């Protein structure tokens, strides 16, 4: 089963999931989570841009080669919303995955519940912790519930 881990990049939630699920036949893919590299990749490779819009545009498109390929290949897309920032790219990925018919899991704290209601409505599961994602993947693949 192929699982793409989208969204918040400032905590170690991806590590918790990949380590918790290392006994399972899951192939994880993730975006580039080095914030600086992700922001500057476009101009670093394709040439500087004086205008911030195009600086960001080049980078966002280059990152899209990775993220869209990964989402399209995934069976399950997990999207985590954290406490900070706008995280519109996370919601964009969720919409992209939903339109492709991917199984969507959304992870966020209770404080974001109302603001994420449309995203949650497209999900097959809404949870709060990486352990719940591990438990779900374990259940989906082995049929075993957590003890």
Q: In the window 22-51, what residues touch its own copies (CB under 8 A)?
A: 32-34, 37, 40-42, 44-46, 51
Q: Is 82 in the site for its own copies (CB under 8 A)?
A: no
- Name which position in 26, 96, 109, 130 contacts its own copies (CB under 8 A): 96
11 interacts with its own copies by CB under 8 A: no
Q: Which of 12, 75, 83, 109 touches its own copies (CB under 8 A)?
A: 75
SS3 state of residue 2: strand
Examine residue 93 and tell whether it contacts its own copies (CB under 8 A): yes
Q: Are 31 and 63 in contact (CB under 8 A)?
A: yes
User: Which one among 13, 64, 84, 109 touches its own copies, defined by CB under 8 A?
Assistant: 64
- Give the residue, chosen from 14, 21, 116, 130, that forms a contact with its own copies under the rule CB under 8 A: 116
Kindly state the tokens that stand for 6: 């989208």
Q: Which stretch binds its own copies (CB under 8 A): 11-19, 20-28, 106-114?
A: 106-114
Closest to 67 in 3D by CA, of 105, 95, 44? 95
* Dist. CA 111–CA 98, nearest whole Å: 23
Please name the helix (run of DSSP H) or strand (run of DSSP E) that holds residue 44, with its range, or none.
Answer: helix 35-46
Q: Which is nearer to its own copies, 5 or 63 (CB)?
A: 63
Please provide residue 137's backbone torsions phi and psi, each rounded to the nearest 5 degrees: -60, -40
Token look-up 């974001």 returns: 112
| Residue 119 found at the interface with its own copies (CB under 8 A) | yes
Residue of 4, 13, 94, 130 interacting with its own copies (CB under 8 A)? 94
Interacting residues of 138 by C-beta distance below 8 A, sequence separation 6+: 21, 24, 144, 146
């Amino acid at each position: 089963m192929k699982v793409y881990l989208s969204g918040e990049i400032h905590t170690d939630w991806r590590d918790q999931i990949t380590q918790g699920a290392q006994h399972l036949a899951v192939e994880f893919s993730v975006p580039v989570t080095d914030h600086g590299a992700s922001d500057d990749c476009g101009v670093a490779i394709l040439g500087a841009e004086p205008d911030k819009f195009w600086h960001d545009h080049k980078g966002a498109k280059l990152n899209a080669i990775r993220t869209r390929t990964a989402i399209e290949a995934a069976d399950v897309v997990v999207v985590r919303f954290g406490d900070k920032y706008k995280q519109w790219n996370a919601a964009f990925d969720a919409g992209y995955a939903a339109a492709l018919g991917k199984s969507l899991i959304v992870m966020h704290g209770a404080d974001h519940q109302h603001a994420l209601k449309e995203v949650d409505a497209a999900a097959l599961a809404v949870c709060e912790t990486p352990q719940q994602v591990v438990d779900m993947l374990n259940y989906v693949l082995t049929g075993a519930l957590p003890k």
